Chain A
Amino acid sequence: MRAAARAGAVALVVLVLVGLWELYRWIWTSAGWTWPFVVDATSMPHVWTILKAFGQPTQVNQPALGTLLFHKALFTMKESAVGFAIGAVVGFTLGCLLVHSRLLQRGFLPYLVASQTIPILAIAPMVVVWVNPKLPPSLQGWGAVAVIASYLTFFPVLINTLRGLQSADARALELMRTYAAGRWSVLWKVRVPASLPFVFAALKLAATASVVGAIIGELPSGLQSGLGGAIINFNQYYSLEPQELWATNIVAALVGIIFFVIVVAAEKAIVRRPPETAR
């Protein structure tokens, strides 16, 4: 029953958004307003034009756009899932290491922060050049993109893991001292469980960032099999077929949402917290 209510709410929000889009279109076209931009079939195609595009082939003798995007989405999901996993593991492990030493934190954190100020587009070509030659044939191309995606995901995971590990109750740590517990026990029995709410907050960020990272990573790699390739391609034909780019954007958003929902479900299954601080 609650699941049905939730699904209803989601459907309602989608309908409202579609309604607002079409309402905006209708007002601007009928009033002839040109600010902030001219509203026409190119700048804002009808929602049904976009939806119809899913069923139509982009070129003769090609599968429908929907089928095409489905396969491209699977490819991008593979990249972002691996990128997410690498980023999560690297971020979490670094967090567990750094929490034990103020010196290491002071030494490393500035560089880790600096790493995030470099635009990913500037890093991507180098990663492709460095990583690709070392990959087995089965990982060629998309393996490098996964590494680029992980570059976006490890940072929030690292920062939040560090914060979460430090959030462990001082008295819980004192209790562990009375057991003469070693670092390893304290880490696994107190710090890591205490960090999970923080870690999952970061994983939610990382889930969507990994999709963005994968799509952007595809661009300098010249990969055509994923959503990034599709976006570049449809960008070039935007004035002729704007609905194809819009359809691709919707699919990209769906991929991000799917990742996010998976992380939320995992959090519900793993993290045990009192109800008033939950959610």
Chain B
Amino acid sequence: MSTTQQSVVSIEGVTKTFPHGNVTALQDIDLKLEPGEFVSLIGPSGCGKSTLLRVIGDLIQPTTGTVTVNGKPAHKARVDHDYGIVFQDAVLFDWRTVARNIALPLEMLGWDRERRNARVAEMMELVELKGFGDHHPWQLSGGMQQRASIARALAFEPALLLMDEPFGALDEMTRERLNLELLSIWERLASTVVFVTHSISEAVFLSTRVVVMSPRPGRIAGVVEIDLPSPRGVETREAPRFFELVTEVRELLRKRGEHLFPEEEPL
């Protein structure tokens, strides 16, 4: 990584304790994300990966430490609309059409109708939802809803995309297809992505770096550089190097997590 360019996300010494039950959700987290990186946060439940994502997004304030996004404090970055977010559920508003859901952040930014419509049309093409603009969310499949949610997050071209287990609720086939689509979108837009997941293969397939976290207290157990060639496709998942990296991540998870959660969900 070159040090001359400014990091998109810079986390220094972040600790987060929740007063109720005295839980240390995050302890001494240091992490830097360079422009164009795709970083996955992976770990068992309770390792603080979603908390860390929310700290980056200024939805949760860290107890100690600093977070900067695009060189400014996280709070300023949120107010400036520096990131888009995708949750596990699409969180589309039933009372809005798909097109108007995607337009929501643009309305918040005060764009006029013409500009909004043009951008929404572009985004719907990007996520392959063309022709579904006038549908209501409940008329879409789970995968299509999540694509609309991604379009909404990217509509205002944020430098950073935060994704909290975005495909966790989808079936395996839809998930793999959306993984491919997300990669092609990411390559085209050259944005930086923080991706929370508990699927090892998904993390390895998508990322340039995988950050493995361990629970109680939530810490970074290790970082695995993913040197799989780009562009990645269906054959990537069958390459020997893919399996080596999956094993490496799994070993890190096992080493740190096993004694605490022997029966942890299969990863």
A interface residues, Cβ below 8 angstroms from B:
169, 171-172, 174-175, 177-181, 185, 189-190, 193, 196, 271-275
Query: Are the CB atoms of A275 and B105 closer together than 8 Å?
Result: no
B interface residues, Cβ below 8 angstroms from A:
57, 59, 78-79, 81, 83-85, 87, 89, 91, 93-96, 104-105, 107-108, 136-138
Complex contacts, B87 vs chain A, CB 8 Å: 171, 174-175
Complex contacts, A175 vs chain B, CB 8 Å: 85, 87, 91
Q: Which one, B93, B94, B96, B105, contacts A179 given CB within 8 A? A: B105
Query: Are the CB atoms of B79 and A171 closer together than 8 Å?
Result: no
- A-B complex: 4 closest residue pairs judged by Cβ atoms: A274-B138, A179-B108, A193-B95, A180-B79
Q: Which residue of A lies closest to B90 (CB)?
A: A171
Query: Are the CB atoms of B81 and A180 closer together than 8 Å?
Result: yes
Complex contacts, A189 vs chain B, CB 8 Å: 93, 104, 107
A72–B84 CA distance with the chains assembled, in angstroms = 60
B83 to chain A, nearest CB (A): 7
- With A193-B93, A274-B94 given, can you name 20 additional A-B contacts, CB distance below 8 Å? A169-B91, A171-B87, A171-B89, A172-B93, A175-B85, A175-B91, A177-B59, A177-B78, A178-B84, A179-B104, A179-B105, A180-B108, A185-B108, A189-B107, A190-B93, A196-B95, A272-B95, A272-B96, A273-B95, A274-B137
Query: Are the CB atoms of B91 and A180 closer together than 8 Å?
Result: no
A190–B84 CA distance with the chains assembled, in angstroms = 18
Complex contacts, A193 vs chain B, CB 8 Å: 93, 95
Q: Which residue of A lies closest to B88 (CB)?
A: A171
Q: Which residue of B lies closest to A169 (CB)?
A: B91
Complex contacts, A172 vs chain B, CB 8 Å: 91, 93
A259–B136 CA distance with the chains assembled, in angstroms = 30
Complex contacts, A181 vs chain B, CB 8 Å: 108
16 contacts between A and B (CB under 8 A): A171-B87, A171-B89, A171-B91, A174-B87, A177-B78, A178-B57, A178-B83, A179-B81, A179-B104, A180-B81, A185-B108, A189-B93, A189-B107, A272-B95, A272-B96, A273-B95
Q: Which one, B59, B81, B105, contacts A174 given CB within 8 A? A: B59
A224 to chain B, nearest CB (A): 46
Complex contacts, A177 vs chain B, CB 8 Å: 59, 78
A73 to chain B, nearest CB (A): 36
Query: Are the CB atoms of B85 and A178 closer together than 8 Å?
Result: yes
Query: Are the CB atoms of A272 and B136 closer together than 8 Å?
Result: yes
Complex contacts, B91 vs chain A, CB 8 Å: 169, 171-172, 175
Q: Is the interface of A mostly helix, strand, loop or mixed?
A: helix
Complex contacts, A272 vs chain B, CB 8 Å: 94-96, 136
Q: Which residue of B lies closest to A176 (CB)?
A: B108
A183 to chain B, nearest CB (A): 13
A42–B107 CA distance with the chains assembled, in angstroms = 66
A59–B95 CA distance with the chains assembled, in angstroms = 55
Complex contacts, B137 vs chain A, CB 8 Å: 274
B81 to chain A, nearest CB (A): 7
Query: Are the CB atoms of A273 and B94 closer together than 8 Å?
Result: yes
A191 to chain B, nearest CB (A): 11
A169–B90 CA distance with the chains assembled, in angstroms = 12
A171–B107 CA distance with the chains assembled, in angstroms = 19
A187–B94 CA distance with the chains assembled, in angstroms = 16
A172–B90 CA distance with the chains assembled, in angstroms = 10
Complex contacts, B79 vs chain A, CB 8 Å: 180
Q: Which residue of A lies closest to B105 (CB)?
A: A179
Q: Which one, A178, A196, A274, contacts B78 given CB within 8 A? A: A178
Query: Are the CB atoms of B138 and A275 closer together than 8 Å?
Result: yes
A273–B138 CA distance with the chains assembled, in angstroms = 8
A180–B79 CA distance with the chains assembled, in angstroms = 5
A171–B92 CA distance with the chains assembled, in angstroms = 10
Complex contacts, A196 vs chain B, CB 8 Å: 95
A109–B108 CA distance with the chains assembled, in angstroms = 33
Complex contacts, A273 vs chain B, CB 8 Å: 94-95
Complex contacts, B84 vs chain A, CB 8 Å: 178
Complex contacts, B104 vs chain A, CB 8 Å: 179, 189
Q: Which residue of B lies closest to A178 (CB)?
A: B85
Complex contacts, A179 vs chain B, CB 8 Å: 81, 104-105, 108
- Known A178-B83, A180-B78; contact A271-B95, beta-carbon cutoff 8 A: yes
A185–B93 CA distance with the chains assembled, in angstroms = 14
Complex contacts, A185 vs chain B, CB 8 Å: 108
Complex contacts, B107 vs chain A, CB 8 Å: 189
A196–B84 CA distance with the chains assembled, in angstroms = 28
Complex contacts, B81 vs chain A, CB 8 Å: 179-180
A171–B78 CA distance with the chains assembled, in angstroms = 16
Complex contacts, B78 vs chain A, CB 8 Å: 177-178, 180
